[in-house]
Structure 1
Amino acid sequence: MIVRVLDLAILGLLMEREHHGYEIRTEVRERLTFGAPLSFGSIYPALARLERAGLVEVADTTSGFASRLSTGSLSGERASLRTLRAGAALGRRGRKVYRITAQGRLSFNELLADPSAGDDSRDFSLRIALAKYLTPALRINLLERRRGELVQRLGELRSTSQRDHLDDYARSVVTHASRGIELDLEWIDSLLRAEQHDHHFADPAKS
């Protein structure tokens, strides 16, 4: 599951644009895994694995990425230079610029829409963060599937809370978990209402 989440996160970033290795390392954690425990040391092996599989490739670091960073202003050029120097400080791997391949885009779409995804909360959160790449029908399917899993889990917790052998502390843990699931259900229901009323969330990249 961790490998799939990591691959999906990396490919999702590269769907937007080319990224330095160190950018991927930072943004995967800050933007797509929401500060969840994730070894920075796992990013570069994952990139190497994706490169061997033909899903990502190293772009031209001397022209492609440099031109992308060019802003035409002195302050912008200084900021770009700082970015490049930061990558250099991390060594050769950090200086590499990666981009997704055509095969990588296909694999990303397959991973994102995979109906066999389990009920892992991090996997689901990542899919929602990347949901702009799904069709409305697939987004609704993803939300309804997750909702069904949570409803089942909530029923199990409520049944557990009625057991006589639970002491007050154990019961409080079950109650806390139940409230968390109820909040998740409220959130999912709000997303479903937005989708079903055709009020889709705007793609920030196009705004």
Structure 2
Amino acid sequence: MLELAILGFLAEEPLHGYQLRHHIAQLSGHARPVSDGSLYPAINRLVNAGLLARQTEPGVSAARRHTLSLTDAGRYELLRRLRDANGLNITDSTRYFTILAFLSHLPDTADQHAVLRRRLEFLEQPASFFHDGDRPLGADDTDDPYRRGMLTIARATSRAERSWLREVLA
């Protein structure tokens, strides 16, 4: 998802590595902070693959700064990753939110809606953190107040998201 976030933010404007790291940190929040040790190797992989261009410019002091921008191949790759989002990119909320953050870059509404339909299909499957055999347990099925809280919050979140998805897809 780090590479997708890099491609997505650079589709909006050229950025320096520091700015890019700041944008990614804001998107992922405290849940998954991005370190220089993961960001810069990902940038280098994308540059080496021809998906990003790096331009050196004078810095404020003696250090030079590198501005990153998306190449045509990078834009194509971003759109492909968004269009083809499936599996964990649909079922894992953090990954899905990264997809959602850049989904408007897909120019075709039908492609956008196909991704949203995959998410809605996933959300409409019975699910729970806890099970009794094969049966998912709901908040009313447990006496544990903390598990009930988890299930209550998850149900409300899922209900709100399904409602939003149906509204957008209508």
My pick for the range that moved more, 53-62 or 95-104, is 53-62
AA in 2 matched with 1:127: I
Deviations 1:99-139 (A, max 9, x none): 11222122111111114342111221122211221110011
Distance in 2 of aligned mates of 1:39 and 1:126: 14
Which one of the candidate residues 2, 7, 26 is aligned to 2:3?
A: 7
Deviations 1:142-198 (A, max 9, x none): 11110111111xx2338412886x3232333222221221122122223223xxxxx
Alpha-carbon offset, residue 34 of structure 1: 4.6
- Kindly indicate whether residue 35 of structure 2 is the aligned counterpart of residue 40 of structure 1: yes
**Residues 146 and 59 from structure 1, CA distance in 2 versus in 1: closer, same or farther, beyond 3 angstroms?**
same
- Identity fraction in percent: 31
Give the structure-2-normalised TM-score: 0.80
Alpha-carbon offset, residue 56 of structure 1: 0.9
2:93 equivalent in structure 1: 121
AA in 2 matched with 1:7: E
Gaps of 5+ in 2: 129-134
Give the structure-1-normalised TM-score: 0.67
Gaps of 5+ in 1: 63-83, 194-207
CA contact (8 A) 2:139 2:151 kept: no
Which fold has the larger relative contact order, with Cα–Cα distance below 8 Å and residues 6 or more apart in sequence? Answer: 1
Q: Would you identify which runs of 4 or more consecutive aligned residues in structure 1 move more than 4 Å?
A: none
1:23 equivalent in structure 2: 19
3-state SS in 1 of match to 2:57: coil
**Residues 38 and 47 from structure 1, CA distance in 2 versus in 1: closer, same or farther, beyond 3 angstroms?**
same
Hey, which of these two has a bigger chunk of helix by percent? 1
**Residues 191 and 35 from structure 1, CA distance in 2 versus in 1: closer, same or farther, beyond 3 angstroms?**
farther
Rg larger in structure: 1
Distance in 2 of aligned mates of 1:123 and 1:24: 18
3-state SS in 1 of match to 2:137: helix
CA contact (8 A) 1:29 1:36 kept: no
**Residues 163 and 175 from structure 1, CA distance in 2 versus in 1: closer, same or farther, beyond 3 angstroms?**
closer
1:108 equivalent in structure 2: 78
Distance in 1 of aligned mates of 2:139 and 2:66: 56
Distance in 1 of aligned mates of 2:11 and 2:148: 45
Say how many residue pairs are matched. 159
- Kindly indicate whether residue 160 of structure 2 is the aligned counterpart of residue 183 of structure 1: yes
